[in-house]
Amino acid sequence: MRPTRSRGRNFASLAALTFALAALVPTTATAAPKPDVKVVPAVVPQPVSQTSLTGSGFALTAQTPVNVISSSDPDAAGVGSYLAGLLAPATGYTLPVTTTSQPVSQAIVLNPNGASSLGAEGYTLKSTSTGVTVTAYGAQGLFRGVQTLRQLLPAAIESTSVKPGPWTVSPVQISDSPRYSYRGAMVDVARRYYPMSQLKRYIDQAATYKINTLHLHLTDDQGWRIAIGAIPSLTTVGASTQAGFTGGTDWYYTAAEYQEIVAYAKSRFMTVVPEIDGPGHTSAALASVANLNCDDQPGNLYSGFDVGISLYCLSDAQHVADVSSFLTTVIDTVASMTPGPYVHLGGDETPAATPSQYAAYVSAASSAVTSQGKTVMGWHQLGQSTIPANSIMQWWGSDGDRATVGTSYENENVHFVRDAVQQNAKFVMSPSDHAYLDMKYDSSTPYGLTWQGYISLSRAYDWDPTTSTAKLDGTGSLVPADKIAGVEAALWADHAYAGSHRLATSTSQFPEPYVYAEHMTFPRLPAIAEIGWSPQSTHNYSDFSRRLGTHGARWSAAGIEYYAAPDVPWSSPPSSSSLIGVHTLTTGGQALDVPGSSGAPDTQLDTWALHGGNNQKWTFVKQPDGSYILVNVASGLCADVSGGSLSAGAAIIQWTCSGDTNQKWQVTPVTGGGHTVASVSSGLLLTTASTTNGALVTQQPASGSALQRWTIG
Ligand code: TNX
């Protein structure tokens, strides 16, 4: 193996290179014409082949059977019930699910007895006025075909309440199968704990775009999220923190809950990959188990926002043995609850580890994995050590690394990949400058990081797995094409809060995990999903964004808090969820403003002629009750009713964000334009005294005056 290299992320040089390169990336966004959704089915990911047929399509009625053809696949009938369940809320129909040996007419026929040449996930779909038939080689292909079928119905089919219809399936013939067999979505439940219902919601959303792998980043500095029966302290101690939060008692998945997630994912034909990250990213374990530390004293819990801060003690034989025995217990437990083939060992960002310490970790952890009959996955750094045959490395490098390929200054990421390739590893591609869903879209989006610059929708779409470890001109790929298992989008959560380049000052700056997840995921996950599924020959951003533009209405109907990326031709107006982000509030051209850009708490807000400075910009952070807190971009303080007053005339000030109701604001559109902004505690409206510069802002009863009608820009 190669000798010592530092394994830290080199922020400065990487960031500089990436920004320089970002400037060279062409902006592919063009305003495509509005599609006629009735005529051109807008399926994402793009099918391999699709032909629109003439005729009226197939109209569902309350009696349409979901007709599953009998087969030896025990899961096929379940796909029929799943489809009937999908269609029920919006149609109000309880479609009969029948199993017969021959197809019936005027039905949705799900036939799992197709040719084996369709592969595990391929399917054909034909829809005419006499019925719809999905044919696959087994239940999994039917399930993928059903995701296409739902996209051939009107957007309102995604509604959670009954809608009028009609429910007509576009007439079309499709033949489809995936480019890659691994299409993943990673959720960082370690930095931010997702309650069960929110994790299931994410599984359902990802399944819509034919994602077939759910990678759960279960452990990190900020929390240990999986119960290990033999080591209760991992959850009694290690699960009590999140990034930005302390004092939790149930921020973890019990064994039963983990198995429920695995089973739920399986019912969506999704494999769970559990990640136990090490030897770095381990503060939660170090705080829970004394002998993982060199001084045999439990370390400190960590609820901050940094990376690369911790390491298992691997500096003497006794501690290597202690860490090995710990990892064996943990990995045996996790593997025994995981039907899928992989256990992910992390391996990222361990600046303090010497090569032999790092190798000791990889050796102990990977033998625990293989002795359970599982396959090792790891971040690409793992490749520097000896890894078992058939391991899968996850590439998270970027154009900055690619720029060094084949030069005399090839960087460590390139070296690690070369080492892994020599060991015959396979790769999953998660380039951090395209597939990291925790990067901000642009300067106006509130959550996430920018260490790889901004990742707009077009940047999330404009890459190809076969060149993601190649030189910038696309030649010289480090990873041979036949070693690419697929792609994965990574939703990290160490900065799942509002406030650019600034640490959160209060938990109220954190949205509910699902709001963060959906804002960062939609519309970018569908872009990564299309790269994983669709043939490279269909890759075309303007066609993708035209198709995706029709999905905004689907997400609105489903209540998904998506980000209405400005370069997408959305076919319907974005829903009000798009208030998440940075805005100005103006009335009569005068903007809600922190006087003199003061950073001092207790400064009364005023209105001033709009000039676009940061003291006139407010980050809207959605709260669980649907209201927003308004964080000033210059000061990081929150708009607040002074003293929590319930009286008319009380001053509106800026104050340290607290999440109290006198900092929550209900934003309501007014007929004829503008919005009222009401304090959740007092019900009184944000009101300026006049349109003169420096007019003071107070709360007042609704009067209909323009001075309390705000334009949100
Ligand atoms: C790097 S890339 C990490 C994570 C952070 C992420 C933030 C990698 C394998 N690790 O620990 O959450 O950056 O973007």
The mean pLDDT value for 254-281 works out to 98
Shortest-distance Cα residue to atom 11 of ligand 1: 307
The mean pLDDT value for 352-380 works out to 97
Say which amino acid occupies 417.
V
For residues 144 and 125, is the Cβ–Cβ distance under 8 A?
A: no
The one-character DSSP state at 472 is: T
Q: Is 455 in the pocket of ligand 1 (CB under 6 A)?
A: no
Q: How many Å lie between the centroid of ligand 1 and the Cα of residue 504?
A: 18
The hierarchical CATH code for the domain 581-712 is 2.80.10.50
Q: How many Å lie between the centroid of ligand 1 and the Cα of residue 398?
A: 13
Shortest-distance Cα residue to atom 7 of ligand 1: 492
Say which amino acid occupies 156.
A
Q: Is 393 in the pocket of ligand 1 (CB under 6 A)?
A: no
Which of 377, 417, 492, 524 for mutating ligand 1's site (highest number of atoms within 8 Å of CB)?
492
pLDDT, tens digit (0-9, with 9 covering 90-100), for 85-124:
999 999 999 999 999 999 999 999 999 999 999 999 999 9
pLDDT, tens digit (0-9, with 9 covering 90-100), for 506-521:
888 899 999 999 999 9
Q: Is 221 in the pocket of ligand 1 (CB under 6 A)?
A: no
Q: What is the pTM of this model?
A: 0.90
pLDDT at 114 (0 to 100): 98
Q: Is 447 in the pocket of ligand 1 (CB under 6 A)?
A: no
Give CA–CA dist 92/207, Å, rounded. 23
Ligand 1 atom with minimal separation from the 349 CA: 10
Q: Is 348 in the pocket of ligand 1 (CB under 6 A)?
A: yes
- R_g of the chain computed on alpha carbons: 27
Q: Is 438 in the pocket of ligand 1 (CB under 6 A)?
A: yes
Q: Which residue has the higher pLDDT, 146 or 2?
A: 146
Q: How many Å lie between the centroid of ligand 1 and the Cα of residue 6?
A: 16
Q: Does the structural domain 49-176 have CATH classification 3.90.226.10?
A: no
3 falls in which pLDDT band (50, 70, 90)? very low
27 falls in which pLDDT band (50, 70, 90)? very low
Ligand 1 atom with minimal separation from the 432 CA: 2
Q: Is 307 in the pocket of ligand 1 (CB under 6 A)?
A: yes
The mean pLDDT value for 405-428 works out to 97
Q: Which residue has 């033998």 as its token pair? A: 367
Pairing of strands 131-136, 108-111: parallel
Give CA–CA dist 36/32, Å, rounded. 12
Residue 67 pLDDT more than 80?
yes
pLDDT, tens digit (0-9, with 9 covering 90-100), for 629-668:
999 999 989 999 999 999 999 999 999 999 899 999 999 9
- Burial classification of residue 406, based on how many CB atoms lie within 10 Å of its CB (0-12 exposed, 13-18 middle, 19 or more buried): middle
Give CA–CA dist 422/435, Å, rounded. 25
- Burial classification of residue 220, based on how many CB atoms lie within 10 Å of its CB (0-12 exposed, 13-18 middle, 19 or more buried): buried
Residue 203 pLDDT more than 90?
yes
The two tokens of residue 372 are 């359970």
Q: Enumerate the active-site residues.
A: 349
Q: Which of 179-188, 213-222, 293-302, 439-448 has the lowest mean pLDDT?
A: 439-448
Q: Which of 258-272, 344-358, 463-477, 574-588 has the lowest mean pLDDT?
A: 574-588
Q: Is 349 in the pocket of ligand 1 (CB under 6 A)?
A: yes
Which of 189, 222, 348, 416 for mutating ligand 1's site (highest number of atoms within 8 Å of CB)?
348
Q: What percentage of the chain exceeds 90 in pLDDT?
A: 88
The mean pLDDT value for 704-710 works out to 96
Answer whether 49-176 and 180-540 agree in fold. Answer: no
Residue 16 pLDDT more than 90?
no
Q: Which residues, at least 6 apart from 317, have a Cβ–Cβ distance to it below 8 Å?
A: none
Shortest-distance Cα residue to atom 6 of ligand 1: 492
pLDDT at 38 (0 to 100): 44
Residues in the chain, total: 713
pLDDT at 499 (0 to 100): 75
pLDDT at 672 (0 to 100): 87
502 falls in which pLDDT band (50, 70, 90)? low
Written as one string, the DSSP assignment of 292-334 is GSTTSS------SS-SS------SSHHHHHHHHHHHHHHHHHH
pLDDT at 346 (0 to 100): 98
Q: Taking all residues of the chain, what is their mean pLDDT, rounded to a whole number?
A: 93
Residue 633 CA, chain-centre distance (Å), reads 25
Q: How many Å lie between the centroid of ligand 1 and the Cα of residue 218?
A: 14
Q: Which residue has 């310490």 as its token pair? A: 357
Residue 444 pLDDT more than 90?
no
pLDDT at 573 (0 to 100): 67
Domain ranges in the chain are: 49-176, 180-540, 581-712
Q: How many Å lie between the centroid of ligand 1 and the Cα of residue 35?
A: 38
Q: Which of 26-30, 169-173, 212-216, 671-675 has the lowest mean pLDDT?
A: 26-30
The hierarchical CATH code for the domain 180-540 is 3.20.20.80
Q: Is 395 in the pocket of ligand 1 (CB under 6 A)?
A: no
Give CA–CA dist 159/161, Å, rounded. 5
Say which amino acid occupies 278.
G
Closest-CA residue to 271 (of 81, 121, 492, 491): 121
Give CA–CA dist 547/355, Å, rounded. 48
Q: How many Å lie between the centroid of ligand 1 and the Cα of residue 437?
A: 11
Ligand 1 atom with minimal separation from the 396 CA: 2
Sign of CA dihedral 686, 689, 690, 691: negative
Shortest-distance Cα residue to atom 9 of ligand 1: 348
Residue 443 CA, chain-centre distance (Å), reads 19
pLDDT at 501 (0 to 100): 57
The mean pLDDT value for 435-461 works out to 95
Residue 21 pLDDT more than 90?
no
Closest-CA residue to 467 (of 366, 373, 398): 398
Ligand 1 atom with minimal separation from the 348 CA: 9
Shortest-distance Cα residue to atom 8 of ligand 1: 348
Scanning 522-575, the segments in alpha helix (DSSP H) are 524-533, 541-549, 551-558
pLDDT, tens digit (0-9, with 9 covering 90-100), for 318-353:
999 999 999 999 999 999 999 999 999 999 999 899
Say which amino acid occupies 698.
T
pLDDT, tens digit (0-9, with 9 covering 90-100), for 529-576:
999 999 999 999 999 999 999 999 999 999 999 999 988 999 876 655
Q: Is 137 in the pocket of ligand 1 (CB under 6 A)?
A: no
Scanning 209-292, the segments in alpha helix (DSSP H) are 233-236, 255-267, 283-288
